[in-house]
Structure 1
Amino acid sequence: MSQRERRTFVHLHNHTNFSLLDGATRIEQLVSHCCAEGMRAVAITDHGNMFGAVQFYRKARDSGIKPLLGMEAYLAAGSRHDRGEASAGRERFHQLLLAKDQTGYRNLMKLSSVGYLEGFYYKPRIDKKILAEHAKGLIATSSCLSGEVPQYLLRGDYEGARTALGELVEIFGHGNVYVELQDQGLSEQRQINPELIRLAGELDLPLIATNDCHYLLKEDAQAHDALLCIQTGKGMSHPARMKFPNNEFYVKTATEMWDIFAEVPEAITNTEKVAERCNVVLNFEENHLPRFPVPEGQTLNDYFESVVHDGFERRIEALQAGITGKTNGSSGWASKHDVEQYCERLEVELSTIVSMGFAGYFLIVWDFIRYAKDAGIPVGPGRGSAAGSLVAYALGITDVDPLEYGLFFERFLNPERISLPDIDIDFCMRRRGEVIDYVANKYGRDRVAHIITFGTMAAKGSIRDVGRAMDLPYGEVDKVAKLIPDDLDATIDAAVSSVPALQEAISKDRKVAELVNLARQLEGQVRHASTHAAGVVIADQPLTNYVPLYKPPAGHGGNQEHAVATQFPMNDVEAIGLLKMDFLGLRTLTVVHDSLDFISQDLGKKLTIEDIPIDDPETFKLFASGSTSGIFQFESTGMREALRKLEPSRIEDLIAMNALYRPGPIGSGMIDEYIRRKHDPTKVKYLLPQLEEVQKETYGVIVYQEQVMQIASDLAGFSLGEADVLRKAMGKKKPEVMASMKEKFIDGCKTRDVPPNLAKEIWDQVVEFAGYGFNKAHSAAYALLAYQTAFLKANYPVHFMAALLSSDHDNTDKVVRYISECREIGIPVLPPDVNESNVSFTAAGETIRFGLAAIKGVGEGAVLAILDARDRLSGFTSLFQFCEEVDLGKGINRRTVESLIKSGAFDLMTIQEDNDPDPGNIRAFLMSSLDIALESGQRRQRDRQMGQTNLFVDLETEADGADRRSSSLPVSSAVPWTEREILAAEKESLGFYITGHPLERHRDQLRQFANATTAKLSQMNSSREISLGAIITSIRDLKTRKGERMAVVQVEDLDGYAEVVVFPDAYRACYSLLNEDEVVLISGRPETDGDTARMIAGDIQPLRAFFEQKSHEKASEVQISVTLKGLSEGVPDQLRNLLERHRGEVPVSICLQRSSPRGFRAHVTPNRFLWVTPSPELVAELEELLGSDSVHFRR
């Protein structure tokens, strides 16, 4: 046998990294390796899915190797519909399938889709029934050790194996079934391979040899082992973890496979024959746009043009009335361009769109946006380059006038480089699903789906994942991970070559070297599948004709109504000609919508977005002050600082700032240059007078891609289509294109009398800025939305902040930050109240009322039941009435009512004129009454449902009424809650404090002694020593590899939350202080890990002791508070003795008062013999005697 013949082998059973966390072979490596080995073809057969099919096909085709498309399906022993007990004790098997032709490829897609959409139970399963329905065009094998035939053989059931193999022959046909042999040296294979060969002979079936490849090279076995640990969540040392038996599951050479199967050479040669039979061809030239229905008697293009002209007339009428682009006091024509310019531009765009065959595309988008607007669903003003289209503006797809803002159609749709348009649309976050619903109903639910996306293991994540798999201590792994730079594109290789500390750690510690090496091998591996946040595909036929479908498991989006997604990711979906659109849910649109609703409800004022003038002074004052928390695109700390320097005074400034605030322009100094030129016009210079018209708006700085295009058009005679090609080449730095374009640019300038040296200087300037240039259409649309948001905040702050809080009510960090801002600008945020609150936050006059659904443990269903009863009763008068009248069958249980009490939602209802309003008394009593109230309520509701009455109903009602009327009165058996207990209950029920904060009383001292807050950590230099006053909310104790104790502590201050890492040295000094609810002062340094800000603790002290130490050093008086309840027998004498023990030179003042703030109060000033020397010891002894917070120092 010749050497060439010995090399004839094709790998038909391969798992890529799309067999998630099970296969470690990357597609490009698989293809390259097989090409290098001289193999003519190669297959991929991932577990139950076809995620990588298109990517693999294209890579193989482009590399000159034949791609074979397959799948290793999960085959249910019974029905794919069996779940739980129905499938108990019933196995699932592996079933290898390969597509022979287009029919087989379509059937493979349908089978994989069925597995996810119908058969998913731990794995995407199919069954023999559905297999028989879609067997045409497929090749099947007996599969690996987990196949049905091998499983029968392993149990010693030869006849069962023969029957199962015979069933495959019945399903697929005699010529389409192969008996698969594998030999990785396993005893099970030595047991069954002879029997498989015997079965093949008895049934006259050909053999094939495979290696069930899960990784590329033999030396990749350890990395693959780590991957399995990541999948199962078990460390390598776990005795019962999933593990491959040896390191033989790699992509072996043809010679290796020949050597292994030397006794059955036909099993090797048959792999080549199978490859020859498989001839799937994917078509990347066709588009599968859905057909838009048009009225009878009209062509698609005619209807499109009529719809555009109708919309255009409405836009022109609005401009003539001064409605669009209005300014304060404006009326009449509202554009600097005349009607003829609009008409000319429209006809050019219409002609281009129709000639390129995209009329249907525009109608599809117009239709669902029209639906959304008619249904009152907020739609964004535009997104991306589509805002440069006047046709899109006429159709209502965008709300940005492209002529007014100098936007180009060719930036969106270039007739000189034909490609499908790409219009992305922002919808109200809350109602985006309704629009997708409409599209699915219109075109067919089997033709509309979301798009899958894959999360991969980034550098830091890979280090952390592998560290867990290796059972390394958290602290050690954390140190290594933090040596990786925070750049989004940072790689482990780049970090190793550029970070000396990482190099040192690798050289000194063998475990670190192993960790980094394994993490490097797994970096970039696909970690999980999920649904793309916005992408939706719409097709002209059922999607499974073009793409397999996927549905996330329950708990990962699987229970969402429209969770069905394509198995191909976005680029592959577009490559096969499917129409992809982004339906984005934008929180800001929801905030704007809710703000307008609150204004209407609270003020009776019907304000619309169209009513907002574009030159409102208060809005620009807000931007200039940097008070842009909650303002779309403008709320980061750096942006706010830039706004303060810029002092924007026109919408163009906001458009420019939105474009400039990105890493490139920031690093190049373009923002600073823009600001300097705005404030000093003498710094604005133009190389040519013709450039002034292009650059004047941005003070001579080239900010936008559209400016690059206009310079090429005006100075060098480029068409706007050519200018767009130039813009793209400059942005992507394509040297060969730029070289030819440069020559054309300079020649074009010559024809317009621009000297060559000046033309070259202009070219160089354009090239320099073009790399940073931003899409002005996108920036203008988003700046307009940001301006509208800021207008609402500047002119209707209560209503805006209520809407903002509502939109983020499930994000505790943001709620805390926004409530803090409300307090700073004088907007009270009132606690929840069962008689006043609605579902979410609401505006009420000059205040904001907390929403009931934002309380933990209180679902929206429970809130609706509460509101229903409240409306019926015109309000609640007692806890007993609440429990009797609110339907307890609608999510109202003990925990729900307990959460309401703890949050203070019953406080105001319980207070009466003659009653003590202390929340500690109220909530303690309500909690002590809760069980009785619930029992009473349940009995009443049960009796009502059964229609029961009794002879004494009137007397009972009267007695119960008296009980309920008195239920708001405190009783002595209920021990009042302390302030600490009140705040702890609020934290538990709300996620944060609302009536106060443990740090509130220290606010002044914090300003004096603490130089950091949690909100500022991410902006602070890591070399700076800082101090942070905070309360500990949780502690995670850990051990280093050396066995030393350390901790990761979550803390909260008045601004938000942060993580504090306490390494062993600091831990030893302060471990006794690491308790939940401990108020501390932390000294150390800040650190940023990606988007997460944290602090490395150097020292931790009790906050109160620190402040008291500082305070008593200059105290002018010690103020002692004593409640009358606290003056029990013996306390006065003990107090006197205590003061005498601390005798000194600082006067003492004693305040006697009732527990109620509204109660009696008297001051006593002891004589000089009872003056004291302030100290922490004095404070500790006084608080032990009189209670916490009984001592204060006056300075």
Structure 2
Amino acid sequence: MNRSSEINTRLDEQLHENHKSVTQNNFAEGSTTAYAELHTHSNYSFQEGASEAWDLLLTAKQLELHALAITDHDNVSGVMEFAQAAKELGIKPIIGIELTLAHGLDDPDDTEYEPAKRPHITLLAETAVGYKNISLLTTHAHIDAEERNDPHLDPALLADHAEGVICLSGCRRGEISKVVSNGDIASAQHAAKKYIEIYGKENFFLELQQNLVMGDVQRNRSMAVIARELGIGIVATNNAHYHVRDRHRLNDALVAIKNNKSLEASHRERRPNDQFFLKSPSEMGVLFTEHPEAITNTLKIADRCEFDITSDAIYDFPSYDFLPPGHTESSYLRKICEEAAVRRYGSVTPEVTARLDKEFDLLERQRLVGFLLQYYDIIRIAREVQEDLGLVEPGLDIEENPPGRGRGSSVSLLIGYLTGLSHIDPLKFGLRLDRFLPETLEGEKLSPPDIDLDFPREIRAELILRIHERWGYERAVLTGMISTYKIRGAVRDLGKALGIAEDDLSRLNKRLDRHSSISALAKEMAELPEFRDRVDAPVWQMLIELAQQLNHFPKYLAQHPGGMILSARPLSETVPLQRSAIDGRYICQWDKNASEDAGFVKIDFLALGALSQLSESLELIRKQTEERVDISRIDFEDHAVYTDIHNADTIGVFQIESAAQMQTVTRLRPRNLTEMAWEVGAVRPGVGVNDGVTLLIRRHMGKDPNWKFDHPLEEPALGRTYGVPLYQDQLGELAVHVGGMSAVEGDQMRRAFTRRNDERHIAHWKDKFITGALAKGVSPEAAEKVFGKFHGMYQFPEAHAFAFGVTAYQMSWLKHYWPLEFFVGIFNNQPMGFYNLETLKEDAVRHGVKVLGPDVNLSEKKAVIENGALRMGLTHVAKLNTATAVPLIEERTVSGEFVSLANFMSRTRVQQEVPDLLSAAGALDRFDNIADPDRIPPTITDRRHLRWESGLRYRPRGEKKDGSRQLAFEIPVEQDMIALPSESGWERMIGEYSATGVYPQGHMMEKIRPHLPSTVIRSEEVRNYANGDRISVAGLVIRRQKPNGKTVFITLEDEFGHSPLIIWPTMYQRFKQQIKESLLLATGTVSRREGTMNIVVENITPIEESIPQFPSRDWG
């Protein structure tokens, strides 16, 4: 035992004895010490805090702490979650922060510290103004720092933001604590006086900490003397980083991870012992026997902190600042809507007027009219971006080719339909407002609605930039998103900290999949032969234990994919801002849940590849035919289109192309847009609860004619979907009609089930629901059964399902009537959807589209239509991006086509891999024909010959190592050419696939099939077999899905079509490694059910293991 450990052990023993004595005395006197912990770190002190807010608060309640402050490092990401949970538990929450300063107040202004040595300061929000100032200071700490991940504050800014703030001098890294520890009392006094000048004697306290660390006692004594001499208070804190002592192991591991070191190598960075946990008032009283006023002051400070972030956060809904003269927000928006109604309906009908009256009444009561006008502007800015980028013809009506599409519950808004936010007519489909704008009772607080907008991918970045420019960076801010630990990340990071070999961690992670749970990690390891004998080893046991604790812990703050908050005032007054990883963007430190709880109005700008494809396909149709297709006015009841959908001819079709959707669509057989919305909504995790999909389909098809509601009161909510809660809205409606709640309460109850770590709310809502249901005459049994339909699994809002259902139908319509334009659009907007380019190519061929490979003389940057065929673009060749392809095209346009490899290489400045990739892709095949156009039959330039020649001809340009210039001129190489064997058909095919991701001239299974066992059938033959027949199929894996973490769905593709496989969980454990291969041979039994067909796998092997000498050059 070293000297430090010995001293700590003795101090710990002394504490234990003193604790027993003091506790006995207090109990004897009938009183205990009261204490509030004012310096606590949750796991939002990223990679340092080792406990969740709920664990800290629950422990604080058990310890009977007077109050608890959250003071995470340089961020307030967890304060909303903390404050809500604290109020629920009856603990007073205090909002604060531990900020990093660039240097001390007493240091010269140009002092620079290494990040690990910068001083800390603890700030607590006494009032709403104080929290505003903390938010502004934190924003400066992040925005003003040179490095995005190194926040630190210029201490000169403290004085301008001191009102309403109580300042504690900080932990051991505080400016004053450090100089006191060094014995420099004079400097400590001088620094303290500067803090007093800023905060005043009533608002500045010297922070004493006693964690049984060498030097604590003397430092505290010295600081107490300084405080008495200066007439300021002292305050005790424990700088808690975890809720119970045992969590110190996780805290140590997190600090090691943060510093990219092992535990063994991170002694200096880690806390010196295991005493940084929440302690009871009695324990703190023992520790601060010499300084009782430090304990008393915790209570005085806590009582002074009146700020409640759950109700006092300052935020104003955005107003509209661009009104024409003579208009209010309501009159201007009404004018826009009525003009659009004439275009949409021919006139402003009584039905339109009534709906607009209702919507305007709700919007005006919630002060959201200006918010809707902001959206109106955003849609028009999006159209400007499209036009500026040359993506659409200038002057198109918004309705004809909308730049964005609403999703979510906002689609139910008629105002949204008339202003271009939505492409769904809510009157036609009877969409309700309840989910988007529920009626509120007096005194009820409505969570602000959010409107999700999908935009083509290519305009989103520019659109966000222009919105920043229009509203300003402080009033248009992107939402934060908390990245959390999953099993692979936890194993990797903790394993490195524990010193486990990286090879072992890599092998283990490869064997785990994303559905593996941390709680089942030991079981997963026991099933892996190379880890079976290690599970019980101490280091692996520690890994399993810590990984369990780390499950779902916040890892860092990232940018939400598209969420943006609009505010009437600078948002940094309400929540700190920091720079995004993308230059020019700023994010707030709250995620979508905290932003919603704070009452923020949030817009989601989402990039949707399907909209890019749709927009491009419509433009192609216009350019090719001069026909302008108004996609909003096509026939939505076209029998031919629905036949394609029923037959699962949906590869490449938005929302209905997955294996699960294909299975469902053949069973449900939608015939109109209402049923398309069912289809889109059905394949969501929440609908699968209680086998909802099967119930919906059977009842819809009349196969269960005697079904009944669990209680007649369900009918208003569930009648339209045969008693199945298909949509989010219906759960809220159940709460209203069965549970007797208001619409707002019903929505709050639904949300409680979806929040992370909000299971504790469910008991409250269950009691309220059951009580309300009983009051309405529902039996206890029926009330329990209806409540059982609530869950936290994801479902679509009804309007959202309609929005996506319409888009899915429109894509199916395009695929049926304009297949060439459809597939060009989809080729040019990869990656998206479920399938690779080869699968899409095969589907295009099945629809009569001829697909031509890239050609250096015929291809453009992206795919184009060439004489009625799809010609792949140069950027479809691997590693050839726009920067490489465009100069080639420009050279060809200016100087004519390339006539030979020598000509190509002398005219372009490309790396050697470019001609090699182009030749592998077949893009140089026509050089022989260009040289001898009259040759019959035409020949293909040999690709192996081209690659040899390119190696001989390649001459690097630029400076040599000795600084001299490399001259660029063509050197004869014919004398160095040798006769090489031509590539086989198999080699050409593999080369094409490697270079482009497709086989332009066929399918690889054509080459493989002659070598397969004769029992293997073609995919097109599967339909001829009956239920229960045993068959074998083979093909290329084009899709693997494991939606519930148990059953695996695999789709095999051969040259004739697709074979759907199902692997049950028991078989998955047996074949989990084999199914990772690309080419598989499967044997199983045919399963037919309600129009669907699958092969239930009994055995599966990689094709490579089934064919001797695979592959061979002799294959074609």
TM-score, structure 1 normalization:
0.71
Residue of structure 2 in register with 1:66 after alignment: 92
1:181 lines up with 2:191 in the alignment: no
**Matching residue's letter, 2:680:** N
Residue of structure 2 in register with 1:833 after alignment: 855
Residue of structure 2 in register with 1:1138 after alignment: none
Residue of structure 2 in register with 1:428 after alignment: 456
Q: Distance in 2 between matches of 1:538 and 1:813?
A: 37
Q: Distance in 2 between matches of 1:872 and 1:164?
A: 71
Residue of structure 2 in register with 1:353 after alignment: 363
Residue of structure 2 aligned with 1:920, choices 940, 944, 948: 944
Alignment of 1:689-838 (within 5 A): 775-809=797-831, 814-822=836-844, 825=847, 827-838=849-860
Secondary structure in structure 2 of the residue aligned to 1:385: helix
Residue of structure 2 aligned with 1:31, choices 57, 60, 64: 57
1:92 lines up with 2:118 in the alignment: yes
Q: Distance in 1 between matches of 2:665 and 2:329?
A: 48
Secondary structure in structure 2 of the residue aligned to 1:531: strand
Contact 1:408 1:706 in 2 (8 A): no
Contact 2:315 2:571 in 1 (8 A): no
Alignment of 1:957-1036 (within 5 A): 972-973=977-978, 990=996, 1001-1005=1007-1011, 1011=1034, 1013-1015=1036-1038, 1017-1018=1040-1041
Secondary structure in structure 2 of the residue aligned to 1:48: coil
Aligned CA RMSD, in angstroms, stands at 5.6
Residue of structure 1 in register with 2:406 after alignment: 382
In the superposition, relative to structure 1, how do residues 769 and 492 fare at CA in structure 2: closer, same or farther (>3 Å)?
Answer: closer
Alignment of 1:496-645 (within 5 A): 514-552=542-580, 558-562=581-585, 564-645=586-667
Secondary structure in structure 2 of the residue aligned to 1:372: helix
Q: Deviations over 1:1122-1149 (max 9, x none)?
A: xxxxxxxxxxxxxxxxxxxxxxxxxxxx
In the superposition, relative to structure 1, how do residues 802 and 281 fare at CA in structure 2: closer, same or farther (>3 Å)?
Answer: same
Contact 1:637 1:1019 in 2 (8 A): no
Q: Distance in 1 between matches of 2:436 and 2:856?
A: 52
Secondary structure in structure 2 of the residue aligned to 1:431: helix
Contact 1:18 1:46 in 2 (8 A): yes
Q: CA deviation at 1:913?
A: 4.1
Secondary structure in structure 2 of the residue aligned to 1:96: strand
Q: Distance in 2 between matches of 1:96 and 1:28?
A: 22
**Matching residue's letter, 1:1002:** I
Q: Deviations over 1:185-224 (max 9, x none)?
A: 3335467555545554565554333222111111111222
Q: CA deviation at 1:83?
A: 16
**Matching residue's letter, 1:531:** Q
Residue of structure 2 in register with 1:447 after alignment: 475
Residue of structure 2 in register with 1:304 after alignment: 333
Residue of structure 2 aligned with 1:316, choices 345, 352, 358: 345
Residue of structure 2 in register with 1:951 after alignment: none
Contact 2:1036 2:1078 in 1 (8 A): no
Q: Distance in 2 between matches of 1:91 and 1:769?
A: 54
Secondary structure in structure 2 of the residue aligned to 1:17: coil
1:930 lines up with 2:854 in the alignment: no
Residue of structure 2 in register with 1:1127 after alignment: none
Q: Distance in 1 between matches of 2:1050 and 2:673?
A: 40
Alignment of 1:663-674 (within 5 A): 663-666=685-688, 668-674=690-696
Q: Which runs of 5+ in 2 are unaligned?
A: 1-21, 388-401, 754-761, 933-938, 1018-1031, 1085-1095
Q: Distance in 2 between matches of 1:516 and 1:801?
A: 48
Q: Distance in 2 between matches of 1:430 and 1:569?
A: 25
1:15 lines up with 2:21 in the alignment: no
Q: CA deviation at 1:592?
A: 0.8
Tell me which moved more, 280-289 or 789-798.
280-289
Contact 1:184 1:211 in 2 (8 A): yes
1:456 lines up with 2:484 in the alignment: yes
Contact 1:451 1:565 in 2 (8 A): yes
Contact 1:879 1:933 in 2 (8 A): no
Alignment of 1:868-879 (within 5 A): 868-878=890-900
Residue of structure 2 in register with 1:226 after alignment: 253
1:278 lines up with 2:300 in the alignment: no
Q: Distance in 2 between matches of 1:970 and 1:850?
A: 35
Secondary structure in structure 2 of the residue aligned to 1:832: coil
Q: Distance in 2 between matches of 1:1066 and 1:633?
A: 29
Secondary structure in structure 1 of the residue aligned to 2:1107: helix
Aligned residues: 1006
Q: Distance in 1 between matches of 2:1048 and 2:99?
A: 58
Q: Distance in 1 between matches of 2:56 and 2:704?
A: 61
In the superposition, relative to structure 1, how do residues 809 and 347 fare at CA in structure 2: closer, same or farther (>3 Å)?
Answer: closer
Contact 2:739 2:770 in 1 (8 A): no
Q: Distance in 2 between matches of 1:706 and 1:1064?
A: 38
Secondary structure in structure 2 of the residue aligned to 1:346: helix
Q: CA deviation at 1:545?
A: 1.5
1:393 lines up with 2:417 in the alignment: yes
Q: CA deviation at 1:398?
A: 1.8
Residue of structure 2 aligned with 1:54, choices 47, 71, 80: 80
Q: Distance in 2 between matches of 1:485 and 1:810?
A: 22
1:344 lines up with 2:344 in the alignment: no
Contact 2:139 2:572 in 1 (8 A): yes
Alignment of 1:1052-1071 (within 5 A): none
1:861 lines up with 2:866 in the alignment: no
In the superposition, relative to structure 1, how do residues 924 and 97 fare at CA in structure 2: closer, same or farther (>3 Å)?
Answer: same
Secondary structure in structure 1 of the residue aligned to 2:607: strand
Q: CA deviation at 1:785?
A: 0.6
Contact 1:113 1:550 in 2 (8 A): yes
Q: Which has the higher contact order (CA 8 A, sep 6+)?
A: 2
Contact 1:77 1:90 in 2 (8 A): no
Q: Distance in 1 between matches of 2:1043 and 2:317?
A: 51
In the superposition, relative to structure 1, how do residues 541 and 343 fare at CA in structure 2: closer, same or farther (>3 Å)?
Answer: closer
Q: CA deviation at 1:109?
A: 0.6
**Matching residue's letter, 1:301:** S
Contact 1:924 1:974 in 2 (8 A): no
In the superposition, relative to structure 1, how do residues 214 and 791 fare at CA in structure 2: closer, same or farther (>3 Å)?
Answer: same
Residue of structure 1 in register with 2:394 after alignment: none
Q: CA deviation at 1:60?
A: 3.0
Residue of structure 2 in register with 1:1151 after alignment: none
Residue of structure 2 in register with 1:948 after alignment: none
Residue of structure 2 in register with 1:248 after alignment: 275
Contact 1:174 1:205 in 2 (8 A): yes
TM-score, structure 2 normalization:
0.76
Q: CA deviation at 1:252?
A: 1.9
Q: Distance in 2 between matches of 1:600 and 1:86?
A: 62
Q: Distance in 2 between matches of 1:1065 and 1:304?
A: 62
Secondary structure in structure 2 of the residue aligned to 1:350: helix
**Matching residue's letter, 2:377:** D
Contact 1:1000 1:1054 in 2 (8 A): no
Contact 2:1037 2:1050 in 1 (8 A): no
Q: CA deviation at 1:23?
A: 0.7
Secondary structure in structure 1 of the residue aligned to 2:122: strand
Residue of structure 2 in register with 1:263 after alignment: 290
Q: Distance in 2 between matches of 1:1083 and 1:241?
A: 56
Q: Deviations over 1:985-1006 (max 9, x none)?
A: 6676557776788776214545
Contact 1:47 1:73 in 2 (8 A): yes
Contact 1:106 1:545 in 2 (8 A): yes
The structure whose Rg is larger is: 1
Q: CA deviation at 1:448?
A: 1.0
Amino-acid identity (%): 25
Q: Distance in 2 between matches of 1:767 and 1:16?
A: 34
Q: Deviations over 1:436-470 (max 9, x none)?
A: 33433333221110111212335676566545544
In the superposition, relative to structure 1, how do residues 883 and 492 fare at CA in structure 2: closer, same or farther (>3 Å)?
Answer: same
Q: CA deviation at 1:107?
A: 1.7
Q: Distance in 2 between matches of 1:598 and 1:290?
A: 39
Q: CA deviation at 1:920?
A: 1.6
Q: CA deviation at 1:836?
A: 2.8
**Matching residue's letter, 2:467:** V
